[in-house]
Structure 1
Amino acid sequence: MTRRHPWNVIRGLLVLALLLADLPAWASSLAAWRLTREGALELRTSPNVRPEAFFEDGSRLQGPRVWVDLPGAPSRTRSIRGSGEVREVRIGKPTPTTTRIVVEFRPGTDLDPADLRLVGTSPDRWKLEFKGLKRVVVLGLGEGDLDGTAVVSVPPASFPTASTPLSADGLPVVPRGRFRVVIDPGHGGPDPGAVGIRGLRETDVVLDVSLQVARLLQARGVNVVMTRTSEVDVDLPPRVALANRVGADVFVSVHANALSMARPDVNGIETFYFSSGLSRRLAGSLQGQMLAVSPGSPNRGVKQGRFFVIRRTVMPSALVEMGFVTGALDAPRLADPAHRRRLALALATGILQYLGGR
């Protein structure tokens, strides 16, 4: 009897508008794939996909299988002969609107579903390692341009509409189409960040605010790139790599602070930069605007910090802490959609002020 294990289903990719004219026509959301000599499946995908990954045990006559389902059916189905412990790779169409890539292993291959994890290595790349394979896979097993790069931007229509419509009226004006800004909502997916009063999760706060910031900046003609737009696990190096690759003018990482549930008296707003004077100016602009919409919140200042995402980005960068999810003053505000809209307006204003003063 076989057992099926839905494992680590990662819901959602970063919503990024890729220029897809160069992608092959054989799949609407699976742009490219390959099996590496080290025994890893690497995928390149198109925007807005919701991949689901599954594992099925093998038997004496049939080896284990791993497959990933993505939206959008391929133009044709096919099978590709494998090597080593990989018997075959198949591209199928289980439904008229689904692409399925199946990696079938030879009988006797030992895979532990607990070791299988589909990880986003950058906004449009996924990697799944098959640990413990005894015989490597030959190079060249794959299809499509996995290493291709594309200009990344986010159109305003990609963002959910806030419960109360936001307006860019009154925000500083900058030349349309001149600037590119990367917004980095901290944490995500299995990492919720800090969890505070009444279960308030940092990831929920920062993603909501970040999406609204992006929409406001787009309304002012700024090209916005986001490191994530849903609850997906993105490691720190890919966030930095994305910002450096697209040539961003500004990088802003959005967070909420925490201390201890036993210290609700600790509240306040702070912003970090790493070294440059431009980064400090950006941080100061963001800090001032957040304080202006958060009366009574302590000013914890603009500080130097060594956070990876602001230390390794090559453009002016800042990391904002919008308040404490464990704070008696800050937590109710961060949980309030109206205050989150005010914070989004504040951050958008701070970014536009900085860009306009360059």
Structure 2
Amino acid sequence: MSVRGRSLLAAGLPLVAGLATLFSALPAWAGSALGAWRISREGQLELRTSPDIQIQAFYESGRGRSGPRIWVDLPGAPIRTRTIPGAGLVRQVRIGKPTPYETRLVLEFQPGTPINPAELRLVGTARDRWRMDLKALGAGLVPLGEGDVEAASAPTWRQGPPATAFVPRGPLNAGSLPQVPRGRFKVVIDPGHGGPDPGAVGIGGLRETDVVLDVGLQVAQLLQARGVQVLLTRTSEVDVDLPPRVALANNSGADLFLSIHANALSMARPDVNGIETFYFQSSLSRALAQAVQEQVLAISPGSPDRGVRPGRFFVIRRTVMPSALVEMGFVTGQIDAPRLADAGFRRRLAVAIATGLLNHLGGR
């Protein structure tokens, strides 16, 4: 974690130029947060929405004759649902209503379209603008859209409520996780840093924000598979300041709060490695920290146990429920950094953290 204590878009191939962009006038969207969408000539999915909303984006790989899908869920139901013929790699686009209170924008791609979900990120560029880079699909991605999405003139959104998400569909293996009563508990997961604040940067350019967001999203998915309601303070690369993180937790009625970070010292000190978890004052918070620390240590052989320690970090000092902050290792450490950079190890970290949280909830 950097001194601030604060709080993923590959370069693609160029699109075929000169193809007409397909736009039509949008009707009034009664209650829906979606104002307009398009796949731009630059190969980006762009959205215009109501300001300061929470949206989520999902990916699902296709099977058989069904191609892969990306979809975005927004608050408010559309005035009408419809299916829009696609072009190029996009088979069709659907505007739907998964619940009476939601709008869903679905991009269904042709079977066999090569999409790497690890490269997908939905990023807030302003209070009412969002962007996902699809340039890696190359010339098969044809401009398409509804409504008028002009480039946002507002500055990059650096502060506000949690607003975007990217969640790969296809559950992690939760079969070995501890059982707790379904629907009984609510947990807040806080992946530190985000957006223009990368947190600590270590060996090989490893960024804390990337590590903790990946682990945090997986922890949330694992807990949800066990019937725990999960709130995330951020779910994509946006910078959420510390007070909104605390406010989200304190207003949620959550049973637990866990802030997820990675440590750093100096690139000149790769000998410094280790796991540590912090709590503030209460015995319940200390027990939570201990439960998480034990599980993370168990899957990190050779990384020193730096202990369960009292700390005064804002997010654990100002939250009203049992709270802890875990440092999963040093991005500058010769032992920890290669592990944190490995997707398989981050998966094990997520399972370990989820196990610690479920153990603690089950013992209450």
TM (norm. structure 1) is 0.63
* One-letter amino acid matched to 1:175: P
* One-letter amino acid matched to 1:286: V
Which is higher, the Rg of structure 1 or of structure 2? 1
* Counterpart among 31, 34, 54 of residue 29 in structure 1: 34
**Correspondence 1:159 to 2:147:** no
Which residue does 1:352 correspond to in 2?
358
Q: Which runs of 5+ in 2 are unaligned?
A: 1-7, 10-28, 36-49, 57-73, 75-122, 132-144
Aligned pairs for 1:130-209 (under 5 A) are 159-161=167-169, 166-209=172-215
Compute the displacement of 1:100 (Å).
7.1
User: Equivalents in 1 of 2:327, 2:268: separation in Å?
Assistant: 20
Matched position secondary structure for 1:354: helix
Which residue does 1:237 correspond to in 2?
243
Which residue does 1:260 correspond to in 2?
266
Identity %: 65
* One-letter amino acid matched to 1:250: L
Which residue does 1:96 correspond to in 2?
146
* One-letter amino acid matched to 1:122: P
Compute the displacement of 1:318 (Å).
0.3
User: Equivalents in 1 of 2:130, 2:292: separation in Å?
Assistant: 39
Compute the displacement of 1:98 (Å).
5.0
Taking a change above 3 Å as real, the CA distance of residues 346 and 68 of structure 1, as seen in their structure-2 partners, is closer
Aligned pairs for 1:54-65 (under 5 A) are none
Taking a change above 3 Å as real, the CA distance of residues 69 and 295 of structure 1, as seen in their structure-2 partners, is closer
Asked if the contact 1:122–1:234 (Cα under 8 Å) also holds between the matched residues in 2, the reply is yes
Taking a change above 3 Å as real, the CA distance of residues 102 and 201 of structure 1, as seen in their structure-2 partners, is closer
User: Equivalents in 2 of 1:167, 1:102: separation in Å?
Assistant: 40
* Counterpart among 137, 142, 157 of residue 118 in structure 1: 157
Matched position secondary structure for 1:272: strand
Which residue does 2:53 correspond to in 1?
45
Taking a change above 3 Å as real, the CA distance of residues 207 and 124 of structure 1, as seen in their structure-2 partners, is closer
Taking a change above 3 Å as real, the CA distance of residues 166 and 46 of structure 1, as seen in their structure-2 partners, is closer
Taking a change above 3 Å as real, the CA distance of residues 201 and 102 of structure 1, as seen in their structure-2 partners, is closer
* One-letter amino acid matched to 2:53: T
Q: Which runs of 5+ in 1 are unaligned?
A: 1-10, 13-23, 31-41, 54-66, 72-94, 104-112, 126-153
Compute the displacement of 1:174 (Å).
0.3
User: Equivalents in 2 of 1:325, 1:284: separation in Å?
Assistant: 22
- Paired residues, number: 247
- Measured against aligned partners, the alpha-carbon deviations of 1:130-152 in whole angstroms (never above 9, x if no partner) come to xxxxxxxxxxxxxxxxxxxxxxx
Matched position secondary structure for 1:45: coil
Compute the displacement of 1:330 (Å).
0.5
* One-letter amino acid matched to 1:96: E
* One-letter amino acid matched to 1:120: Q
Which residue does 1:340 correspond to in 2?
346
User: Equivalents in 2 of 1:242, 1:190: separation in Å?
Assistant: 21
Asked if the contact 2:199–2:208 (Cα under 8 Å) also holds between the matched residues in 1, the reply is yes
TM (norm. structure 2) is 0.62
Compute the displacement of 1:282 (Å).
0.2
* One-letter amino acid matched to 1:335: A
Matched position secondary structure for 2:33: coil
Compute the displacement of 1:159 (Å).
2.1
Asked if the contact 1:70–1:100 (Cα under 8 Å) also holds between the matched residues in 2, the reply is no
User: Equivalents in 1 of 2:158, 2:34: separation in Å?
Assistant: 17
Which residue does 1:21 correspond to in 2?
none
**Correspondence 1:298 to 2:337:** no
Matched position secondary structure for 1:43: coil
**Correspondence 1:318 to 2:324:** yes
Matched position secondary structure for 2:288: helix
Matched position secondary structure for 1:229: coil
Which residue does 2:285 correspond to in 1?
279
Compute the displacement of 1:305 (Å).
0.1
Taking a change above 3 Å as real, the CA distance of residues 351 and 98 of structure 1, as seen in their structure-2 partners, is farther
- Measured against aligned partners, the alpha-carbon deviations of 1:203-253 in whole angstroms (never above 9, x if no partner) come to 111111111111100000000100111111100000000001111100000
User: Equivalents in 2 of 1:51, 1:269: separation in Å?
Assistant: 32
Compute the displacement of 1:121 (Å).
1.8
User: Equivalents in 1 of 2:305, 2:335: separation in Å?
Assistant: 13
Compute the displacement of 1:338 (Å).
1.2
Aligned pairs for 1:69-88 (under 5 A) are 69=129
Asked if the contact 2:259–2:315 (Cα under 8 Å) also holds between the matched residues in 1, the reply is yes
Taking a change above 3 Å as real, the CA distance of residues 256 and 161 of structure 1, as seen in their structure-2 partners, is farther
For the aligned residue pairs, the C-alpha RMSD in angstroms reads: 2.9
